[in-house]
Chain A
Amino acid sequence: MLPLLRRDLTLATRAGGGFGLAVAFFLILCALVPFGVGPDSAALRPIAPGILWLGALLACLLSLDRIFALDHEDGSLDLLATAPIPLEGVVAVKALAHWLTTGLPLVAAAPLFGLLLQLPAAATPWLLASLVIGTPALSMLGAFGAAITVGLRRGGLLLSLLVLPLYVPTLIFGTEAIRRGLEGGSPATPLLFLGGISAAVVALVPFAAAAALRVNLR
């Protein structure tokens, strides 16, 4: 499975791989928000955690259809399905590659963009912690949505419709952790829930996604 991970990372970073697009989208989104709600830092500060999480979530969503669509088009998916790797492993590796090339850069960029949105410095550790714990679930659930819609020609919009409701618990616990961290409450509880969701998603969703892929390969 390691060669597959290495290939996906290479492809993402070479020309046309789209590496960095998600972070650029994230930046644009964070830059547009003040135009919508006004430059007043008192107005920006309370919504900053939510905007950052939403921005990360939407940026992640944008690159989901690349997870399987390209491999489906050029026949690689057929060949991987006949390779000695279980399809569940292929799904897990591709979700991991998506997280490394999309989720992790978003996590790294979030504190910087937090400055733009007047996020208090005290919230930065909680922002980082919640994103690090939560974004793997976003990638894995996204891989599930991508596996379901891989055979569809115009699956992009449908993919969003299928995946976004699945993101609700992650988003709730992620932003709740930052809010509680800011208000001096206990962010440990939402972080634990977030970790539980991510762990369960990473452990179980590959089976559902592989089942969907098998249907689409028929």
Chain B
Amino acid sequence: MLHRRDFLAGLAGLAALGHGRGALAQAGTSAGAGAAIFRVVTPYEINGLDPVRSGFVFTRLQIAETLLGADDGGRPVPQLATAWSLSEDRLRWRFTLRPAARFHDGTPVTATAVAACLERARALPGVLINAPIARITAEEDTVVIQTTRPFASMPAFVAHSSTMILAPAAFEGETVRAILGTGPYRVAEMVLPQRVDAVRFEGWDGPAPAVERLSYLAAGRGETRGTMAESGQAEMVCQLAPETVDRLRRNPRVQVVVQAIPRTRLIKLNCGSPLFSDARARRALSLALDRAGMARALLRSAPSAATQLFPASMAEWHVPSLAPLERNLEEARRLLGELGWQPGAEGILAREGRPFRFTLRTFSDRPELPVLATAMQSQLREIGVDMQIAIVNSGEIPAGHQDGTLEAALLARNFALVPDPLGTLLLDFGPKGGDWGAMNWSSPELVAVMEKLGGTADPAERAALRGRAATILHEEMPVIPVSWFDQSTAISRRVAHLTVDPLELSYRIAGARWAS
């Protein structure tokens, strides 16, 4: 296994065909050649080099850095910025940069370069475009972000991968031509969209990582990832399919880490449709779902059945006192009866001659979604609701939201898109709803609560406001929670000291060691 590269060089003709450019030039010349390679396998392909598109791959591999990171609880921690402060008027954020930091082309990190990089990110679709930023400037070793109104979530926003910092030389005009980051690893070779190899960056100003070389592979199929974990062909395999988890648990070569993450699978409903305009209709659909059955049989994790929108792992937002979502077909039928729905032809409910029929859009990027949709189709049929399923490109959900043709959609929403969930909630449940959130539904009270949250620093008051927001969403149910996310990762026993980031910000390879 170790000397494949030499063999490869021998097969020059074949290799040149296989790699296009690059591979041969790099073979054997990389720093630390011969050292063991840490192989990461995930489903995510590298779609170009722009931070907005695929920055998450490079930040997770610790090749590039953002100003701040976040700990497991979502609280900001230093990354490229060692310290940060907020002015008295709460409109000026100051981020002090790590003094010895260097880009991978050897140039020192300057505040000017960082500010330019952030300005560029702000002009592109991403998360920064949604922050009320007035100006980003450089002052000596400090980057200053001026906002138009107090914005408490700023540290979370500058932890998002689309704001990662690249060297000025990485850009050619507006286009990113190379990944010249500031992290402990630097890119050695890339085969887009599938693979990135990285080696330790000798100019890194922190303690040298124990793992010298790493290789990232995107394998879209769960079966492939499962097999690679099973046969010990990877040190870390992310997003294991539920079916493979049990089998891998019995495998002595790997350790399976199952971790709840702040993501929820939910049904988005067009609340402007006569079918769903009444909260009772939405609750009736929710009562028809067999969440426990789906969690057990399809997701293979009983605790992932959602009892409310925010998973128990989001301790700050989860409200234990809310009545859990449960299956109750009697109550569901009663609610629909109250709304005038009567059993009609073939057992489908009808009102004024119109059947209770709609189409749910979902996508197969997350392979469990079509399966869950099929299960729910049969469960809704039991209360006389006829749901059709359309498997579409994920872009057709926001498109349907905008042109009003969407009736319902099954999707997975990441509340830690920025480490502070408020950022996502503002996008989803604002006055006009959101592409991935409420549709034709809004609650003036919820909007007011979220606005207050954005400007409040007092912990007790914030906790109360968060609880209120969760309660409104639970009672009004503009989206129907289906299940929470368990993220399953297989880690080889060859590796020690590797923890899994519940916020999916980093693979934390720089902190890992080889087991002796």
On whether the two chains bind one another, the answer is: no
